[in-house]
A and B are shown apart, each in its own frame.
Chain A
């Protein structure tokens, strides 16, 4: 199989504290990979290492075919990132945000402009092209932020709790966008606290105290833990945690 993320014994220590403890996993191209764990389990640290924002202490890791130790710059070119906090510029217009991020990722001007129209049409936001982002409702902003994160057609997009504070209907629409992107071959690496969203993922990993305690399809995980929902699976694993959440 064609893997776009591969890690082996990836570890990050801050002093005596091991935030991420020897994690090994692989994510295939076009896969929607759910990265679950309670607060403080080490999800964000692991994700930051994969994005080239933080240097691992030991282990190996390849993202989009590049080494996370030495080729962070190349990795950054080939991924998209949507942070936990809403991450567009509120005082810029919708299209200005898109142009900015297009420019940052080196998309050609001619491509940028046709892509802006195309994306806005898809989102049904064509009429909001010149609206300041702060005037948009939260759900639209999140969808827009996702579209901006994949504007440069990255191989992988990292989503850090993308649907926090969004109503169920909008979350549903958001996941439709995710499926659409995955169908185009973009790998989705997503962290979430909503267990119904975990069900939408192709495969799910659950981190407890810096280690990956379970990794499989939602269906297999439910069977393995004899649970009817992912929520139950998660609780069973999370109960073992020694660490307190942040």
Chain B
């Protein structure tokens, strides 16, 4: 036990002596959250808007007037042809379009039923939603006024269409994705580098020639990164609640347990890499290209898994981050109970145990 203590102490010294690295591993997640936080909290104003109004009657003009006076919309063009809409979006002239149906006023009064279509450029999903919501509010506000004036039930069919990003992956989703990536970065990359560094400098041989148990060497290497990761987890959660206003709706305890399993898994991956490669550069490449890239691309963080070809869908199943991100999304954002993330929990635990076994076996074999 005393050996282990002496070792853990040493590992902490290594890390705290290397101020640049520690700033980097804590700074990266903080910076990313801040950047996202800014993107999210920026208020949406002066959305460049085009109107297509074939009816051009008293109702549509009233709605357009309301839209024009609001600070959110800036009407840049009245279109004469609906075919122009696509073109204007693609040229970046407009971010939002309001398309009225034919004979709007007439339909509204006689049938109590008129339609308007809202088109939003959702490449910035946040802005797209906000614009659509504002416009829908203005329309329903108009309908309310009409109703109370005339005391007849009206219905304006507002049809919202999000262009270019139909699944509406909002920045909320970025937090689980970020977590999935950051732990791989810290745990797998840093651990593998730290272990391989000792191989490179020759200190590993001295340690192996000493009576210290190999498992202690491994545990001591992992301990600081485990704690740092946990700390970062808490920082990310605090920042996403207080800065991004992403509510943690689910059970905080399970979110922690779930994340810690993933952290242990990442640490084991780092150990595995360290048993395969012999230089720090190779460790960096292996964890960067071998882990980070597939994790980023195939975990559903960047591209939705649903829209992947079948082959990649199958491949994505062996990416631990896929299960982690999906689980975090469920617990954190959807507020699902632990029973809903049971599959993810079990899969991650199984993966972690498997990787730990393989890497420990590999580590021991390499000592021979």
Mark A residues whose CB is within 8 Å of B.
51-55, 73, 76-77, 79, 81-92, 96, 99-101, 103-106, 132, 158
- Stretch in contact with the other chain, from B209-217, B316-324, B341-349: B209-217
B340 part of interface (Cβ distance < 8 Å): no
B110 part of interface (Cβ distance < 8 Å): no
- Chain A residues within an 8 Å CB radius of B201: 85-87, 90
B206 part of interface (Cβ distance < 8 Å): yes
Q: Interface on chain B toward A: helix, strand, loop, or mixed SS?
A: helix
Task: List the 10 closest A-B pairs by CB distance, nearest first.
Answer: A85-B202, A103-B6, A81-B209, A76-B211, A87-B206, A91-B17, A77-B211, A83-B205, A83-B202, A51-B209
**Interface pair A100/B209, CB less than 8 Å apart:** no
Most buried by A among B5, B203, B367: B203
By size class, the interface of chain B is: 20 to 34
**Interface pair B14/A91, CB less than 8 Å apart:** yes
Q: In chain A, what residue has the closest Cβ to B367?
A: A53
**Interface pair B202/A73, CB less than 8 Å apart:** no
Measured between C-beta atoms, what is the minimum distance from A133 to chain B in Å? 11
Contact flag A87-B202 (CB < 8 Å), given A103-B5, A106-B2: yes
The tally of CB-CB contacts under 8 A between chains A and B is 74
Q: How far is the CA of A106 from the CA of B6 in the complex (A)?
A: 10
* Interchain Cβ contacts under 8 Å between A and B, 26 examples: A52-B209, A53-B205, A53-B367, A76-B210, A81-B209, A82-B206, A83-B202, A83-B206, A86-B201, A87-B202, A87-B206, A89-B203, A91-B18, A92-B17, A96-B10, A100-B10, A103-B2, A103-B3, A103-B5, A103-B6, A104-B7, A104-B207, A104-B211, A106-B2, A106-B3, A106-B211
B24 part of interface (Cβ distance < 8 Å): no
**Interface pair B210/A81, CB less than 8 Å apart:** yes
- Chain B residues within an 8 Å CB radius of A96: 10, 13
- Chain A residues within an 8 Å CB radius of B149: none
Measured between C-beta atoms, what is the minimum distance from A70 to chain B in Å? 15
Q: How far is the CA of A81 from the CA of B207 in the complex (A)?
A: 9
B368 part of interface (Cβ distance < 8 Å): yes
B208 part of interface (Cβ distance < 8 Å): yes
Measured between C-beta atoms, what is the minimum distance from B127 to chain A in Å? 48
Contact flag A86-B202 (CB < 8 Å), given A92-B13, A103-B3: yes
Interface string of B202-241 (1 = CB under 8 A from A): 1101111111100000000000000000000000000000
Measured between C-beta atoms, what is the minimum distance from B267 to chain A in Å? 21
Contact flag A89-B209 (CB < 8 Å), given A54-B368, A103-B3, A106-B2: no
Q: In chain B, what residue has the closest Cβ to A91?
A: B17
